[in-house]
Structure 1
Amino acid sequence: MTDLVFDLPDGATAAVTVTRLLNAGYAGREQEEVAAHVAELAELGIPAPAVTPALYPVAPYLAAQVDGVPVQHGRTSGEAEWALVVAGPAPEDLLLTVACDHTDRELEVHGVAWSKNAGLDVLGRGAWRLADVEEHVDELRLRAWVTADGAEHLIQDASLAALLPPRYWLDEIADLLVPGTVLLSGTFAMLPGVDQFAQHWRVELADPVTSRTLDLGYRVERMPEPIG
């Protein structure tokens, strides 16, 4: 289990002990496009899910609010996402924050669920109450930047209308979304021509209605080579 603390816009904080961590996958709003993407990944050797959208349970200790993510090799990368945090039993305890699912791409070809359990799910330190943004949730915008050789490059950019909304999951898997649960949304395509295997990831969730933003950033820290 992991203890997380989120700062809310009104100055309050919400503390959550994560007991369940779920990663959505293939969760685009247009499932026909998702099916085409699944076919493309299959050609790269990444196994297709049995159903879409998919849902992958992840070890709860992998939810983290950190500035550095340890990795074992050079082929890991993040994914810009939103996260739904169930901080308590009341409707006002449903929080929305920014997240980045750091995934082992080498392991992904052997099993997506395995790859999700090989890296941290990094969450922002700020959050919004879902009730305060749900009416305009599709207008929220997710962007991600990577840094390589000292230069920052935009790698992902889309509104939340590209993804299934939080309400979809609240309706579909209500029995799983108990207090202490964190659900990551799944992601959308990366921009072409940008190297995802970067030294630093930064993700922003922006609300054009309130002019507020949530962000996170972390270094990708290569661990020493194993001995033996």
Structure 2
Amino acid sequence: MFPLCFDVDGQTVEVQVTTLLNAGYAGRSQEDVAAHVAELAELGVPAPTRTPCLYPVAPYLAMQADVVPVQHGRTSGEAEWALVITDRDVLLTAACDHTDRELEVHGVAWSKQAGPDVLAREAWRLSEVEDRLDELTLTAWAGGQKIQDGTLADLLTPRYWLDELRARGLDEPGTILISGTIPMLPDVDQFAGTWRVDLTDPRTRRTITCSYEVNQMPDPVS
């Protein structure tokens, strides 16, 4: 496994990823989550037994990549934030959970293993923005089309997940948690050749960007 490196206020912070977790169905309003679960069920995606969910993912799937190879045309990302626990701090950054939508109908946990969690190369200390987390915005573009636009108030808080990690003995350096995503805008096409997620602090007008291209691999020879 290769370490991830983050620019934190001009200093490089290196993290060896030991645990990678993807939150799911993690909206602040669990009534809205229940409605979303019902919508997905109509598309054939199995409903979870409880919400929110927490999916362990292979640590090597956490990466800072410019290109994501995929096996077919029905994969897509999701606008998310990520918590990164280091030796000294808890960091907050932008992330994109690239998911195989064909595989998702057979099992959400399986689909999480079929694509990477792409993280930005810049991060903020959580302590420096925690007083205004609900003001931070998350925005995603697929192929230049805006497909998601919301705030961190739409999602369960980093503190909620830190408490969960502590209860499970996972609040250790090297743990990364991906937040779960915000709703898609209506009538958008999520299947595209490029992805970009912006995490923006309106007070300081600073933005952390996570972006990459999607490269469809050749058909297998079999």
Moved over 3 A (4+): none
Q: Is the 8 A contact 1:23 1:58 kept in 2?
A: yes
After the TM superposition, which residues 63-78 of structure 1 pair with which residues of structure 2 at under 5 Å, given as runs?
Answer: 63-78=62-77
Preserved contact between residue 101 and residue 120 of structure 1 (Cα < 8 Å): yes
Q: Which residue of 2 aligns with 1:168?
A: 160
TM-score, scaled relative to structure 1: 0.95
Rounded Cα–Cα distance in structure 2 between residues aligned with 1:27 and 1:216: 21
Q: How many residues align structurally?
A: 220
TM, length-normalised to structure 2:
0.97
Deviations 1:102-127 (A, max 9, x none): 00000000000000000010000000
Measured in 2, the distance between the counterparts of 1:173 and 1:32 equals 24
Deviations 1:18-64 (A, max 9, x none): 01100000000000110111111111110111110000000000000
Q: Does 1:104 align with 2:77?
A: no
Q: How does 1:54-133 map to 2 (within 5 A)?
A: 54-88=53-87, 90=88, 93-133=89-129
Contact persistence 1:80–1:187 (CA under 8 A) = yes
Among candidates 176, 194, 203, match of residue 200 of structure 1: 194
Specify the code of the residue in structure 1 equivalent to 2:156: L
**Structure 1 stretches of 5 or more lacking a match?**
none
Q: Measure the CA separation in 2 of the matches of 1:213 and 1:13.
A: 18
Distance across 1 between alignment mates of 2:23 and 2:92: 15
Instruction: Say if 2:114 is the partner of 1:141.
Output: no
Residues 170-179 or 29-38, more deviating: 170-179
Q: Percent identity?
A: 68
Q: Where does the alignment leave 5 or more consecutive residues of structure 2 unmatched?
A: none
Which whole-Å CA distance do the structure 1 matches of 2:104 and 2:171 have between them? 26
Cα distance per residue 1:177-216 (max 9 Å; x no partner): 2110110000011111211010100110000112111001
The two structures, once aligned, show a CA RMSD in angstroms of 0.8
Q: Using the alignment, how far apart are the partners of 1:49 and 1:176 within structure 2?
A: 22
The Cα of 1:173 is off from its aligned counterpart by: 2.3
2:178 corresponds, among 178, 184, 197, to 184
